[in-house]
Amino acid sequence: MPALETFAIRKNQLENLTQEALRNGGDYCDLFFENTTIWSLMLKDSEVTSGGYHRDYGCGIRVLNGEKTGYAYSESTDYTSLLKAAQAASAISNSAGDPTRAGYKGVEIKGINDFYPMNKDLREAPPSGFVPLLRKLDSAIRAADTRVIKVVAGLSYSISEILMYNSLGELTEDLRPLCSLNATVVFKQGDSIQTKSVSKSLRQGAEFYSDELVRELATRLTSGIDAMFEAKRPAGGQMSVVMAAGASGILLHEAMGHAFEADFNRKGQSIFSDKMGSRVCRAGINIVDDATVPGLRGSLNFDDEGVPGQKTYMVTDGELTSYLHDRISARYFDVAPTGNGRRESFRYNPIPRMRSTYMENGSDGTLDDLIRRARNGIFVDEFSNGEVKIGEGDFTFYVKSGFLIENGRLTMPIKDVNIIGNGPQALSDIEAVAGDLKIDEGRWTCGKDQSAPVSCGIPSVLIKNLTVGGGL
C-alpha cells in the first residue's frame, strides 16, 4: 500500500498499536492517518490578492469501551508518538469495560472503488499556473454584462492521502482529490446594487480547471440579472411552493436529511426516532444518501471508518427504511454500517454524516406541469441562509431567487422572502415530484459540529401549505 510508505508505518506496527490501545479494556480500536495538502488562490478585479498553502498531517486513535469513547491524536506518525496517543485514548475510554460485551462486526470489502480518478495529479499543479484561468473568468464575466463593477474569483484544491486500520484487521486507504472554483460579482444599475455568487466543486484532478468551466461559470453569473433588479417583495401567507431542481436540495439536506442521521435517532432527538418502517411521505418518493456518484463533492470510496462507499435509501416508496449509520450507531441498532462515519480531520472523532443527499426522480411530469398544478404560490430557484432545528425539523430559509406563480404561470420576480416550515411536515406535504433530478455541484459544506464536503440535489417538487414570509 502506498499510504504505508507515506506515513512511514508497517502493518505489524499498526497491529501493535491497536493491541496496546485495547490492553486495559475496550471493544474496538481504529487508527486514522491523514496527509492533506490544500492550495488556494484569489483574484480581485484580475489582480492576485492572496494565495495559500496548508498541510495537515497526523493520526487519530479511537478506543471504544462500551458506551465510552477515548480519542487522542498525534501530529507525528513516528511509532513512539503513536504509542503515546494509543495509551492516552485507552486511558480516556476508561479501562473498566465489560469483557462480556459483544464486539464490532467487520465489513465486506469487494474490490477497490474509484469514484474520483485524477487525469492530472493535483500535486503537480502549482497555484500560480491558474492565474490566467481566473483572469479569463473575470474577462468573460465583464464581456457578458456591462453592469459589472467588481469581480472576485478564487479557486482551491486539495489532495488527501488516507490510511485506516482497526482492531478487526481491516486495512484500507484512499486518495481524495477536491477542486473548487468560485466567483462573486457586483452589478450596478442606476443607484441599485446586486450581488451574485456561483461556485462549482468536484472530486477531480487538475483537469477540472478548463476553459469550458470558465464559460459555464461566466454564463451562470450573468444570467438572470435583469430579474434580480426587477424583483419585488410579494405578499406572505400559507401557499404552495414549487422548488426548482438542483440547489434547492439544500432544504432536503438541512430540514430532512439531518433528521435521518442515526446519532440523533439513537438519542431520541429526531422526530423520526420511532418511525422506522412507517410511511413518512406519499408513495413513489425515494430519498437517497449516495457516496457512489463519480466525481461528486460528497462521494467517497471509503468513509472515515474504512467502510466502503455505498448508496443508502433512507426513504423507499414513501416509507422510512434506513438511518445513516457509522459503526457505533450500526452496532446499537444491530444493522450494517452505511458508510456515513465522517470526520473533519484526524483531530476529530467520526460521527454519522451525509454524503450526497438527493430525492430520486418522480413521475409527475415537468417543472411546467408542477407550476400549472400549483396555480398560485411561489417558485423558488435557490435558497440561502437557512436555520434548522434538527430535532424538531423546524426551518427558515431565505429565498435567493424565485418568481411569483399566478394562475399557473411564472410572473413577477421576487426577493426578501423567507420560507418557514417543518421538514417532516413538508416531506409529507409534497404533492408532486417531477422527473428532472439535478444534483447541484456547488461548494456545499455541512457544519454539523465538524466541517465536511457534501452534495445535495432534488427534482422539481411541489409542496403545499408552506408559510411564506413576505410583505403585508
Q: Write the secondary structure of 298-314 as one string of H (helix), E (strand) and C (coil).
A: CCCCECCCCCECCEEEE
Kind of pairing, strands 377-388 and 237-243?
A: parallel
| CATH classification at residue 196 | 3.30.160
Same domain, 311 and 218: no
Structural domain contains residue 107:
no
Q: Same structural domain for residues 282 and 208?
A: no
Pair 304, 368 in one domain: yes
In a domain, 105, yes or no: no
Asked whether residue 49 is assigned to any structural domain, the reply reads no
The single-letter DSSP state of residue 363 is S
Query: Do 241 and 148 lie in a common domain?
Result: no
Q: Would you write out the chain's pLDDT as a tens digit for each of its 472 residues?
A: 789 999 999 999 999 999 999 998 899 999 999 999 999 999 999 999 999 999 999 999 999 998 899 999 999 999 999 999 999 999 999 755 454 455 788 898 877 789 999 999 999 999 999 999 999 999 999 999 999 999 999 999 999 999 999 999 999 999 999 999 999 999 999 999 999 999 999 999 999 999 999 999 999 999 999 999 999 999 999 999 999 999 999 999 998 999 999 999 999 999 999 999 999 999 999 999 999 999 999 999 999 999 999 999 999 999 999 999 999 999 999 999 999 999 999 999 999 999 999 999 999 999 999 999 999 999 999 888 788 887 778 999 999 899 999 999 999 999 889 999 999 999 999 999 999 999 999 999 999 989 999 999 999 999 998 999 976 4
* Statement to judge: residues 308 and 421 lie in one domain: yes
> How many CB atoms within 10 Å of residue 371?
20
- Beta partners for residue 184, in sequence order: 152, 197
Provide the domain limits for residue 287: 237-469
Q: Per the domain annotation, does 117 fall within a domain?
A: no
d(CA 122, CA 437) in angstroms, rounded, equals 30
Residues 224 and 278 in one domain: no
- Extract the runs of DSSP E, i.e. beta strands, from 129-218: 148-166, 171-189, 192-202
Helix, strand, coil share of the chain (percent; to 5): 25, 40, 35
Task: State residue 345 phi and psi, 5-degree precision.
Answer: -165, -175
> Both 140 and 274 in a single domain?
no
* Helix orientation angle between 211-222 and 131-144, rounded to the nearest 10 degrees: 40
CB 382 within 8 A of CB 220: no
Query: Are 160 and 34 a contacting pair, CB within 8 Å?
Result: yes
Domain membership of residue 46 (yes or no) is: no
Domain boundary among 202, 230, 258: 230
Total structural domains in the chain? 2
Residue 106 lies in a domain: no
Question: Which residue from 333, 341, 327, 242 is spatially nearest to 289, judged by alpha carbons?
Answer: 341
Could you give the C-alpha distances from 435 to 363, 423, 438, in angstroms and in order?
6, 22, 10
Are residues 335 and 319 located together in one domain of the fold?
yes
As a whole number of angstroms, the distance between CA 406 and CA 182 comes to: 35
Assess whether 336 and 418 both reside in one domain. Answer: yes
Residue 87 located in a structural domain: no
CA distance 326 to 353: 8
Using DSSP's 3-state secondary structure scheme, residue 435 falls into coil
Q: Are residues 332 and 457 in the same domain?
A: yes
406: closest CA among 377, 381, 432, 429? Answer: 377
Using CA atoms in the order 185, 190, 191, 193, what is the torsion angle rounded to 10 degrees?
-20
Shortest CA distance to 163 belongs to which of 14, 280, 349, 328?
14
Residues 6 or more apart whose Cβ sits within 8 Å of residue 80: none
* Co-location of 223 and 246 in the same domain: no
pTM: predicted TM-score of the whole model, two decimal places: 0.95
Q: Residues 9, 12, 16, 17: is their CA dihedral positive or negative?
A: positive
Residue 436 per-residue DSSP state:
-
Q: How far apart are CA 10 and CA 78, in angstroms?
A: 11
Instruction: For residue 39, tell me if it sits in a domain.
Output: no
Q: Do 208 and 182 contact (CB within 8 A), yes or no?
A: no
**CA pair distance 336, 305, nearest whole angstrom:** 13
Same domain, 224 and 257: no
Nearest to 447 by CA among 338, 351, 306, 327: 351
Q: List the grid coordinates of 12.
A: 505489524
